[in-house]
Chain A
Amino acid sequence: MSTIATPLTENTHVRRDTPAVEVVDLTKEFRRRDRKAGRFARRSMPALKNVTFTIERGECVAILGQNGSGKSTLVRLLSTLLINDGGEARIFGHDAYKESRAIRRLVNRVSVEASFFKKMSAAENLSYAARFYGMGPSKTRTAVPAILEKVGFPAERRGEPMENLSRGMQQKVALARALLTSPVLLLLDEPTTGLDPRSKLEVQEFVKDVRAEHDATILLCTHDMNEAEALADRIGLLDRGELLFLEPVEDVKRRYGVNTLEEAFFAATGRTFEDEQTEDDEYREVFG
C-alpha cells in the first residue's frame, strides 16, 4: 500500500508543461530599527536581491550560503510564509502569492528544527499533520506506521512523546511528515544541521531514496558543501541575498579554476566560508 497522500499523477495542481520552480527577480527586505540614525529611524535590510533561477521537475538543487545569506528567506517565500517585495515565484506554474492555496498542496518542507507538539507522539503528530492534507483516520492508520518504518523509526517508539526522542530521531519524523503528504516540491532547509554524523548520513541516504522512488523535486538549502555536492544536480551560491551562480558542481569548479566548493566560495566572494558574520548578516538570519 502506498504511503502517499495523493499520487502525483492524480494531483490536479501540477502543471506538467512548466518548470517545478521559476523565480524571477525575487526580492525581499526587512525593515529594522537604525538607532544610529535616530530614535525612530528605520532602514531596509535586503534579504534577497533580484534572485532569478529555475528548477526543472525531478531535479535536486542545493543552495549554499552562510548563516544570514537568505537561504531560509527563500524557502519561506516558496512555502508561502512570507510575502515578497518584488519579482515573482511560480511553483508548477502557480503564482506563489496569488495562488498560495494551490501551492500549499504541492509543497512541504523539513527545516533545521524538527518542530512538533512535544507532548504528542510521533504517530499523533504525523496524523495531525496529515489531516490538513485530507488524510482521514482510515488512511493514516496504515500510512503513518508505513512511513515511519521507511525512515527507520523504531515501531515500539511510535507512541512515545516527541520530547523523549533524540534530535536525530525527531528529524527522521520530520522527514516522514514531509513525505507523508506526498509533496511534489520538497524544501529542505538545513535538514542535517546539528545532527550527529550517523544521523546525518541516514538523512542524506533517505533524501537519495526519495529522489529515486518518488517523482519529487528537491530544493536543499545548506551550509554543508559536502552534503550539497553529494545530493544535488546543481549547486547555487547565495551570498548576502544575491545568487552568485547556480550550475553543476563541475561547471562551478571550472568557472573559478578551483578544486573545491570552499575555494569557489572564496573566489566568488573574496571571503572564506567560515568568516564571521556582520551585524547585517545576523539581522537577515533572525528575520529570514
Chain B
Amino acid sequence: MTAIGATMRQELIGLGGIVERNVYLTKRYFLWDLAFMVWTIANTLTIVFIARAVHVSAAEENTLATRLLVGAVIWAFLGIIFEFVTETVAWERWEGTIEYTFMAPISRVVHLFGAAAFAVLYGLIRATILFFAVAAFIHIHLPNANYGAAFALLAIASVSFMGIGMMTAVLPLISPEKGAQLGFVMQGIMLVVSGVYYPVSVMPGWMQAISKISPATYALRGDRGSIVNGAGLQWADMWPLIIIGVLAMPVGLWIFSLGEKYAKKHGKLKRSG
C-alpha cells in the first residue's frame, strides 16, 4: 500500500472510531436521550399549538401548523448538530480524554468531520421521529408532502451546518466554562434571521440581508415547500447551500485550527481547563 493509501486508510479507521464511540455513548445514555426526546416533543408542541389558536380556516390552520412544525424540527435538528460538534471538545474535556484525542495521529479534519457526521445521522433520525410524533399528535394532514426532497435538502444543508458547528466547536477551547453555551447563541441567531417560525419578509431589511448568508434560510424555505406543497428539490435553494457549504467547512476548520493553536500556546488544552 502506498504512503497516501495507508494514511487514508488510517484516517478512515479513525473516522469510524469517532462514529463508533458516539454510538456506544448514545446506547449508554439511551434513557437520558429518551427523556430529552420527550422534552423536545413537548417544546415543539408548545409552538405548533399556536396554529390551533389562530382563527382561520381549517386548511389555513393546517398549513400554519405544518410551517411551524418544520421550523421547530429544523431548530431541534440544528440543536443536535451544534450540541455534538460544539461538545466535541467540551465533552472530551469533561471526561478527561481531551489530551489523548488531541495527541493522537488523526487529522483535525477527520476528527471534527467524524463528530459532525454522527451528529447529522443522529439528528436526522431524531428530527424524523419528532416530525411524525408531533404531526400525529396534533393531527396535521400532509397529503402532498414530498419527504424525499425535504430529506435531501436537509442533508445538503447539513454540510453548511457542520462547517458552522466546527467554528463554534472552538469556543470551549478558548473558554472551557462558557464556550459550549456560546455555540447555542450562534444557533439561535442563525435561526432568528432565517425565519424559523415566520417568513423572512417580516423582518427588518438588515436582518433580511443577513438571512441571505444563513444556510437555515434555504433549508427552511425548501423544506416548507416540499412538506406543504409537495415541491421537489429547487435549484434556488440548492445553489446557495452548496456555496455556503463549500465555504463553511474550510473556514470552520481554519477557525478551529486557530483556536487549537491558541489553546496549545496558553495551556488550555487540558482536562481541567
**Cα–Cα, bound, A131→B17 (Å):** 5
The stretch of A133-141, A149-157, A220-228, A259-267 in contact with B is A133-141
* Minimum distance in angstroms from A142 CB to a CB of chain B: 16
> Taking A81-B264, A82-B269, A116-B95 as contacts, is the C-beta distance between A133 and B105 under 8 angstroms?
yes
Q: A119-B29, A134-B13 are in contact. Are A105 and B267 (CB under 8 A)?
A: no
Which residues of chain B are within 8 angstroms of A177 by Cβ–Cβ distance? 100
Are A104 and B103 closer than 8 Å at their CB atoms?
yes
Cβ contacts under 8 Å, A132 to chain B: 14, 17, 101, 104-106
**Residue among A115, A127, A133, A286 making CB contact with B95, cutoff 8 Å:** A115
- Residues 37-86 of A at the B interface (beta carbon under 8 Å): 73, 76, 79-83
Chain B, residue nearest A85 (CB)? B265
| A residues less than 8 Å from B21 (CB atoms) | 117, 120, 124, 128
Chain A proximity of B7: nearest CB distance (Å): 9
Smallest CB-CB separation from A288: which chain B residue? Answer: B267
Q: Which of A30, A80, A161, A287 contacts B103 (CB 8 A)?
A: A80
Whether B55 is near chain A, meaning CB under 8 Å from some CB there, is no
- The answer to whether the Cβ of A4 comes within 8 Å of any Cβ in the partner chain is no
Which of B10, B20, B28 interacts with A161 by CB under 8 Å?
B28
Nearest neighbor of B27 in chain A, beta-carbon distance: A119
Contact B271 A115 (CB under 8 A): yes
Is the pair B264, A113 in contact by a Cβ cutoff of 8 Å? Answer: no
Please measure, in the bound complex, the distance between the C-alpha atom of A161 and the C-alpha atom of B24, giving whole angstroms.
Answer: 11
B108 to nearest A CB, angstroms? Answer: 10
Does any Cβ of A come within 8 Å of B236's Cβ? Answer: no
Per-residue B-contact encoding for A260-288, CB less than 8 Å = 1, 0 else: 00000000000000000000000000111
Contact A129 B265 (CB under 8 A): no
Task: Kindly supply a per-residue 1/0 record for chain B positions 219-250, scoring 1 wherever the CB is within 8 Å of any chain A CB and 0 otherwise.
Answer: 00000000000000000000000000000000
Q: Contacts A127-B20, A134-B9, A161-B28 known; A113 to B96 CB distance under 8 Å?
A: yes
Using Cβ atoms and an 8 Å threshold, which residues of chain B touch A79?
A: 99, 103
* Chain B interface, >50% SS class: helix
Q: Quick check: is B16 within 8 A (CB to CB) of the other chain?
A: yes
B9, B17, B102, B103: the one contacting A128 at CB < 8 Å is B17
Q: Which residues of A sit under 8 angstroms from B270, Cβ to Cβ?
A: 76, 81
Q: How far is the CA of A83 from the CA of B261 in the complex (A)?
A: 8
Asked whether A134 lies within 8 Å of B10 as measured between CB atoms, the reply is yes
A82, A128, A287: the one within 8 Å of B20 (CB): A128
Chain B residue numbers with a CB within 8 Å of A105 are 105
Cβ of A116 and Cβ of B16 under 8 Å apart? no
Most A CB within 10 A of own CB, among B29, B103, B269: B103
Q: Could you say which interface size class chain A belongs to?
A: 35 or more
A176 sits at the interface (CB 8 A)? no
- List residues of chain B with CB within 8 A of the CB of A30: 266-267
B128 contacts chain A at the CB level, 8 A cutoff: no
Bound Cα distance A135, B265 (Å): 31
- Return chain A residues, CB-CB under 8 Å to B271: 113, 115
Query: Does A15 make an interface contact (CB < 8 A)?
Result: no
What's the Cα separation between A48 and B103 when bound, in Å?
A: 20
Contact of B43 with A by CB under 8 A: no
Q: Which of A228-275 contact B (CB under 8 A)?
A: none
Q: How far is the CA of A120 from the CA of B21 in the complex (A)?
A: 9
Interface assignment of A90: CB less than 8 Å from any CB of chain B: no
Q: How far is the CA of A80 from the CA of B106 in the complex (A)?
A: 13
Q: List residues 165-194 of chain A with CB under 8 A from any CB of chain B.
A: 177
Judging by beta carbons under 8 Å apart, are A76 and B99 in contact? yes
Besides the known contacts A81-B99, A113-B271, 15 further A-B residue pairs in the complex with CB atoms under 8 A apart: A31-B266, A76-B99, A83-B265, A104-B103, A104-B105, A113-B96, A117-B97, A120-B28, A128-B24, A130-B17, A133-B104, A134-B6, A134-B13, A161-B28, A287-B267
A residues with a Cβ closer than 8 A to B are: 12, 30-31, 73, 76, 79-83, 101, 104-105, 107-109, 111, 113-120, 124, 127-136, 161, 177, 286-288
Q: Which 5 A-B pairs have the closest CB atoms?
A: A131-B17, A134-B10, A132-B104, A115-B96, A104-B105
Q: Show 26 residue pairs from A and B whose CB-CB distance is below 8 angstroms, ordered by the A residue.
A: A76-B99, A76-B267, A76-B270, A80-B264, A81-B103, A81-B269, A82-B267, A83-B264, A104-B103, A104-B104, A114-B96, A115-B95, A115-B100, A116-B96, A117-B25, A119-B24, A119-B29, A128-B21, A128-B24, A131-B20, A132-B101, A132-B105, A133-B105, A134-B9, A134-B10, A135-B13
